[in-house]
Amino acid sequence: MLNIVLFGPPGAGKGTQSEKLITKYGLTHLSTGDLFRKHLGEGTDLGKLAKKYMDEGHLVPDEVVIQMVEDKISNSENSSGFIFDGFPRTTAQAEALDKMLANHGMAISGMIALDVPFQILKERIIERGKTSNRVDDQNEEKINTRIKVYLDETLPVAKYYEKQGKFKEINGVGEINDIFNEISETIDRY
């Protein structure tokens, strides 16, 4: 069973690499951002709640995110493992994830962090905003808020896994396939 946390700031390439990893390793992709956008598209109460936070670049409250992830894990009983993308984003979420996985007889294999300089992140997100229809990608102030939220609230999650000896950082700038190969080499050592 492989359970990987793909980590990094907004625009680091987590979604792109996740798509390739689920194909190669047969894992279930669990992207909290994608799940929220699905709810939003379907107009559910959860989607409406999340939208208020997402559009401003703020985090959706922990208890809401954790419940959604718990449901997804419980509904994926036959999975051979997960790629967690955009989750956990706070230390409280990381602690909750460890407990949830333990309840299902699983554990995190490792965290892989994509390292990308902030100037490049901003350029990538602005480029994505031209076609993504994402309100949070289309405004420089909101992009700056997301980067600040990442630094203040999400970066401590890296320390959480570092303390457990499960942290590995990879350069997220370069050819998509080269980055993918480096991630794969790390996973193959788990």
Q: Which residues are catalytic?
A: 14, 89, 128, 134, 146
Shortest distance (Å) from residue 78 CB to ligand ADP:
24
109 neighbors 3 (Cβ within 8 angstroms): yes
24 phi/psi in degrees, rounded to 5: -70, -40
**Contact residue for ligand ADP among 2, 3, 30, 33 (CB under 6 A):** 33
Contacts of residue 146, defined as CB under 8 A and 6 or more positions apart, other chains included, come to 9, 10, 57, 136
The yes or no reply on residue 172 touching ligand ADP (CB under 6 A) is no
Q: Which residues pair with 169 in a beta bridge?
A: 113
**Contact residue for ligand ADP among 6, 54, 73, 143 (CB under 6 A):** 54
Strands (E), 1-94: 2-7, 28-31, 81-85
184 neighbors 83 (Cβ within 8 angstroms): no
Using CB under 6 A as the criterion, what x/- string covers residues 129-158 for binding ligand ADP? Answer: -------x---------x------------
The yes or no reply on residue 39 touching ligand ADP (CB under 6 A) is no
Cβ-proximal residue to ligand ADP, closest one: 33
Binding site for ligand ADP (CB under 6 A): 10-11, 32-33, 36, 53-54, 57-60, 65, 86-87, 89, 93, 136, 146
